[in-house]
Structure 1
């Protein structure tokens, strides 16, 4: 069905005159008449009856006009919806995240996208840095939030924030009662550590070796939840975690933490982009939303916490 011809037919039916429509459209009457004649042939018979004053619809024409008005209205609504869709960013974005960035960052990201860009679908992969790096390089991920030990030096990665490292214990432990604790004091501690292979585990082991001792791992777990729960329920057990991982437990009084120094083990949280290929519009929207969220939280992976007496400011801010 030719949309302009349908509009012309209905316009003639409303005007009741070929000449009026020709004048309105600034064309000759014969041009309008020829189009109507062709349309009548497509519809199987005469749609108009010529009179001395113009044209009137035949019975067939009345039925055709009635149905075409509904069709035209539906078609125009559909076209408007398609125009609106064309202005919306749509598509799937495959995002790789570390377990510690799952909440609140990804939660708030999803809520923002649902409100502002409902046509974007997140496909989220959670894994360790080595795995996410491999998936990003292979093209299986579009974006990834990663930890690096050095600031990003290429256009493929953007710095989101810098986080420090904390020794975490059950409440009441003397070692974590002070604001800071020397890394050397981890010598002989019973620790739950991340499993190998892990860049972070390697960095912890190397730091200990540089200070002349080995970390005593009595349990290993990739899950940060498992690490926290083991420490919270086991007197004398410690873990080494980032601030955003334990803020809620500190607020609840389930854990205690002190910043590790000598050396200060800081990590750079980066948004990694694919090394080859261009970002889709949906990927660009998601990348910008991640950067905006982290910046709005003071360049941290957690929202600014509600101030509470038992949550040290040094840890709540991640500094």
Structure 2
């Protein structure tokens, strides 16, 4: 297999445009088109469907993409291992994260890698739970940090930490004057929440049914910054974990109370893609994430 040709295939698929791929490779679009056409002839089928806006993968392209990604990653790591021979971690680790874990968890990870494993490079992508799951399933990320509903996972996820859920509002809101607030207080409150599909939203629906209350979601937004901005202006509330609160740009003017009766617990977990094998660089990143979570996390955010 021609490594450079398949690398071009993956890059073109991610960019969604042969002209953008040409710009990235500092060549012309006809040259890229010829390379893709030659690859399609080898495969015996079309890999891309040309559209007015660029290119999209055909069914054949979608089926082989995860395997191609895994093969490229394995080939890269093999080349790195051959060059080093010393067992030193080297290579790129693709990490999917929730926006709330970007800082200081991932920023701390970056500085630790820079200090102790400078040959490991992070490629970090932010997304919500469903998107992170899709990236894992397609092999577009090697690892992902996401919330699970319970610490036990049939997929071999690594449990990192358990956190509560908080009702968040504007600073000085009398509803949030106490450290805790009962779940029943959420009844018909104007709320902003993350978009569906969302296992978190599904769980909230189940809790509402069991507790006999109704949620009043007036805005769905996957942007943590947008949620906290609207909440900080008053009159609307959010349901967030402690890391999202500590990461919020408006955290200085937010107020929160932990939801109890019942407690609404979340479990932060480290998940792995089922495509390809874990490289030494991936295993190193996994170990560091666990150490940071174990030593630097409390229920009020990262220390």
- Tell me the TM-score range normalised by the shorter chain: 0.5 to 0.7
Question: Aligned partners of 1:185 and 1:97: how far apart in 2?
Answer: 31
Q: Which residue of 2 aligns with 1:292?
A: 291
Question: Aligned partners of 1:223 and 1:130: how far apart in 2?
Answer: 14
Larger Rg belongs to: 1
Question: Aligned partners of 1:286 and 1:226: how far apart in 2?
Answer: 30
Measure how far apart 1:172 and its partner are. Answer: 1.6
Question: Aligned partners of 1:231 and 1:186: how far apart in 2?
Answer: 15
Deviations 1:144-167 (A, max 9, x none): 111101113447211100010000
Question: Aligned partners of 2:185 and 2:82: how far apart in 1?
Answer: 64
> Are 2:229 and 1:229 equivalent residues in the alignment?
yes
Deviations 1:46-101 (A, max 9, x none): xxxxxxxxxxxxxxxxxxxxxxxxxxxxxxxxxxxx99944332111111111111
Measure how far apart 1:301 and its partner are. Answer: 8.7
Number of aligned residue pairs: give it. Answer: 222
Contact between 1:137 and 1:274, CA under 8 Å: does it hold in 2? yes
Contact between 1:93 and 1:282, CA under 8 Å: does it hold in 2? yes
Question: Aligned partners of 1:231 and 1:195: how far apart in 2?
Answer: 16
Deviations 1:96-145 (A, max 9, x none): 11111111111111111111111111111211111211221222221111
Q: Which residue of 1 aligns with 2:254?
A: 255
Contact between 2:169 and 2:236, CA under 8 Å: does it hold in 1? yes
SS state of the match for residue 176, structure 2?
A: coil
Q: Which runs of 5+ in 1 are unaligned?
A: 1-81, 305-319
Q: Structure 1 residues 202, 98: closer, same or farther in 2, change over 3 A?
A: same
Measure how far apart 1:302 and its partner are. Answer: 3.7
Question: Aligned partners of 2:138 and 2:185: how far apart in 1?
Answer: 41
Q: Structure 1 residues 211, 155: closer, same or farther in 2, change over 3 A?
A: closer
Counterparts in 2 of 1:148-159, with a 5 A limit? 148-154=148-154, 156-159=156-159
Counterparts in 2 of 1:1-319, with a 5 A limit? 85-87=84-86, 88-154=88-154, 156-233=156-233, 235-247=234-246, 253-298=252-297, 302-304=301-303
Q: Which residue of 2 aligns with 1:52?
A: none
What is the TM-score normalised by the length of structure 1?
A: 0.64
Q: Which runs of 5+ in 2 are unaligned?
A: 1-80
Contact between 1:250 and 1:256, CA under 8 Å: does it hold in 2? no
Contact between 2:92 and 2:123, CA under 8 Å: does it hold in 1? yes
What is the TM-score normalised by the length of structure 2?
A: 0.68
Q: Structure 1 residues 303, 201: closer, same or farther in 2, change over 3 A?
A: same
Contact between 1:165 and 1:259, CA under 8 Å: does it hold in 2? yes
SS state of the match for residue 169, structure 1?
A: strand
Contact between 1:105 and 1:301, CA under 8 Å: does it hold in 2? no
SS state of the match for residue 175, structure 1?
A: helix
SS state of the match for residue 159, structure 2?
A: strand
